[in-house]
Structure 1
Amino acid sequence: MTDSGDVTGRVADCLLGIEMELRQIGVWERERPPADAFTSSEPFCLDTLAFTQWIQFVFLERMKLIIENGHPLPLVSGIAPMAEEYFRGRPESGQRLIRELEAVDQLLSGR
């Protein structure tokens, strides 16, 4: 069985890869959206944020806090299918970002 510290390190590496890929495809934002954009009750804040904003300002920030504070990692994750849907028909392929998200999904889901 994989050591939890090893999984945490691998998840942290994936988070860095996700950030790098968001920057690479030109969707990394310098300014945080307004506070009311985060009060959505929709999954992924779809009615108030672009999916890539949700990754940057919700997913990455929460995961980094979990890791930095030594909290247990979530037991499941299913973000990659949403990324596939988001990038379908868009000019940027998002394939490397999707692969990084798949890796996180697999690590957190224990596969």
Structure 2
Amino acid sequence: MTKHNALAAILDDLQTEMENQGLWATHPPAPKAFESQTPFFADTMDFSQWLQWVFVARFRAMMDAGAPLPGSCDVAPMAEEALKEMEQDMTEIISLLKAFDEHF
């Protein structure tokens, strides 16, 4: 399995898990939310929104376009911090993000 295929599979699993947890939205945040200059758009989106509309969307777009991927990815530590107060069990989401990070 190529790196792109492995990453795409993890993103698919991440989407499925977010859907199972009720965190995958059908409508994006307001366009203004995407203008944030703050890391993880923390001032305009919650972390699960950022995962869906920025992280997953951008990685899928890069892979679909055959664009070069970043040299590193360290989103799991932020996920652990941002999701620790969630009512849902975030273990699988964090595990998937750790697996994603490990591909870089």
Tell me if structure 2 keeps the 8 A contact 1:8–1:73: no
> What is the Cα deviation at residue 93 of structure 1?
2.0
Which sections of structure 1, spanning at least 5 residues, go unmatched?
none
Larger radius of gyration: 1
Question: Which residue is equivalent to 2:85?
Answer: 89
The 5-angstrom pairing of residues 1-111 of structure 1 reads 6-108=2-104
Distance 1:89 1:9 in 2: 32
Q: Where does structure 1 differ by over 2 angstroms across 4 or more consecutive aligned residues? A: none
Distance 1:58 1:87 in 2: 16
Distance 1:69 1:42 in 2: 26
Tell me if structure 2 keeps the 8 A contact 1:40–1:48: yes
Partner-residue secondary structure (3-state), 1:38: helix
Which sections of structure 2, spanning at least 5 residues, go unmatched?
none
Q: With the length of structure 2 as denominator, give the TM-score of the two structures.
A: 0.95
Q: With the length of structure 1 as denominator, give the TM-score of the two structures.
A: 0.89
Q: Percent identity?
A: 33
The CA RMSD over aligned residues, in Å, is 1.1
Q: Structure 1, residues 1-48: CA drift from partner, whole Å, max 9, x if none? A: xxxx71111001111011011101101101111110011111000010
